[in-house]
Amino acid sequence: MSDVRVRFAPSPTGFVHIGSLRTALYNYLFAKKNNGTCVLRIEDTDQARFVEGAIENLIDTMEWPGISFDESIDNPGDYGPYKQSKRLDIYKKYVQQLMDEDKAYPCFATSEELEKMREEQIAAGQDPKYDGRYRDYPKDKAEQRMKTDQYVVRLKVPQTGETIVNDIVRGEVVFQNEVLDDQVILKSDGFPTYHLANVVDDHLMKITHVIRGEEWLPSTPKHVLLYQFFRWDLPQFAHLPLLLNEDRSKLSKRQGDVAVEDYRSKGFLPQALVNFVALIGWSPGDGTDQEIFSMEELIEAFSLERVNKAGAVFDISKLEWMNGYYIRTLDEGQLVEFLQPFLEDAGIDTSDKEKTAKICLAVQKRIEKATDVKTAAKIFINDVLEIDEKEALDILKEETARAVLETFLEKVNTLGHLDSDAFKPVMKEIQKEKGIKGPFLWKPVRVALTGAESGPDLPLVIDVFGKEKVCSFVQQALEKYV
């Protein structure tokens, strides 16, 4: 193991945002690539946001695409516990140290008072900001009041000068201290805020690289100040570009799914999602246009230097394409295992294993996600032939269509059994006897069996249908549409 230690530090809120999956993935890839350690730390200091079962769901959702952690809440290594709500005494100690060194101070302002301050600032055309009213409150008075009154502890941010964040992705980012708030680091309920707990833990857990979403960049100067106040070495920072909707607004639920669980339940394969998510905000460079990467290949190719600065558009059609690609790489066993629950959800009886496998193979090339089986497998459950497409109807109106279908029916009727092997010789015989070939021969049969001009391979369809259904559909085509 190298010294490289990274962490994925989610605040579990019930579902896993696709952006969190990317953050976890990049941390994982970076750790693996550098033979380092990837830590899962649960940041649950905001008790108001606690959701029952969220941690279990989070771990399960990460395991699904193969993201694992070397150290986690059940397996904390040397620096646990890895759940912040179990570390409150540690944070209090560090808050006390900052207060003792006059780098933090208690603030007794009530929420009403702060609300009034904000309103006045806004009315005066200023950006709302804590005005430092308790910054220089006499120490002895403060100590007295801390025994009886509610208070928070704030960081004493320097009022002049600048704080520089060196970021692997964004380069040097300079923040003017005068615009930074005196950040609350300990809340009145005795819980630390994200900022304090995050920095203390990253230090104590020996994190070398902080890889997280760009939404945390504005917080980072406050973190840098904390490191300086504690006289601790800084980790390296890498802020990942925002995920955007097609219209370049911030990726939001309103414009599509944002939860990993939604993609899972819609029938995306974990390997497709990982491949896709890896490429939003990162590219392998080296002049290749390779788009398909296994997890091993991603580990091999990954580097933080090749993470983009600019926001990254979440292109759902590309994800669907990629998922279709991965579906086509599945062998029969994997395909059936993957599609079976979706067939059942679509009301298709899967008790006949052999038939289920045939349906899966027949739709394999036709779907981009597993929920597409609902439409793709419709022909396998309908007993009535329905043709709505004009192009398909036109094919049956061709002069030769009747001859093809009638001869087909006659020949199949004389067979004891029809499967894909018996099907091809039948077609050959019709071609020979009637002198009809190419699309004039094949298309009427396709339309009669599937109701459409294009669809699954006919031999696969025939294997699922069997003789009786094939004859019934050709008969219906002759009666209703020819």
Could you list the active site residues?
A: 253
By the rule CB under 6 A, 11 interacts with ligand GLU: yes
Which residue in 64, 130, 216, 408 binds ligand GLU (CB under 6 A)? Answer: 216
By the rule CB under 6 A, 209 interacts with ligand GLU: no
Q: Which is nearer to ligand GLU, 212 or 446 (CB)?
A: 212
**Distances in whole angstroms, Cα of residue 1 to Cα of each of 4, 34, 466:** 8, 8, 59
Q: Which residues contact 361 (CB under 8 A, 6 or more apart)?
A: 332, 335, 460
Site string for ligand GLU, 180-199 (x = CB under 6 A): --------------x---x-
Candidate segments 5-13, 65-73, 129-137, 291-299, binder of ligand GLU by CB under 6 A: 5-13
Which residue in 4, 5, 10, 156 binds ligand GLU (CB under 6 A)? Answer: 10
By the rule CB under 6 A, 236 interacts with ligand GLU: no
**Distances in whole angstroms, Cα of residue 35 to Cα of each of 38, 70, 247:** 10, 11, 39
Q: Which is nearer to ligand GLU, 216 or 263 (CB)?
A: 216
By the rule CB under 6 A, 43 interacts with ligand GLU: yes
Which residue in 6, 9, 98, 460 binds ligand GLU (CB under 6 A)? Answer: 9
Q: Are 339 and 348 in contact (CB under 8 A)?
A: no
In the complex, the smallest distance separating the C-beta of residue 9 from ligand GLU, rounded to whole angstroms, is 4
Q: Within positions 299 to 328, which residues make up the interface with ligand GLU, using CB under 6 A?
A: none
- Print the SS3 string covering 156-201: CCCCCCEEEEEECCCEEEEEEHHHCCCCEEECCCCCECHHHHHHHH
Query: For residues 446 and 392, what is the distance between their CA atoms, to the nearest angstrom?
Result: 9
By the rule CB under 6 A, 239 interacts with ligand GLU: no
Residues that bind ligand GLU (rule: CB under 6 A) add up to a total of 8
CB count in 10 Å sphere of residue 351: 7
In the complex, the smallest distance separating the C-beta of residue 418 from ligand GLU, rounded to whole angstroms, is 59
In the complex, the smallest distance separating the C-beta of residue 238 from ligand GLU, rounded to whole angstroms, is 11
Beta bridge partners of 6: 38, 209
Which residue in 22, 212, 239, 264 binds ligand GLU (CB under 6 A)? Answer: 212
CB count in 10 Å sphere of residue 63: 12
Q: Which is nearer to ligand GLU, 9 or 441 (CB)?
A: 9
| DSSP per-residue letters across 315-383 | -HHHHHHHHHHHHHH--HHHHHHHHHHHHHHTT----SHHHHHHHHHHHGGG-SSGGGHHHHTHHHH-S
Q: Which residues bind ligand GLU (CB under 6 A)?
A: 9-11, 43, 194, 198, 212, 216
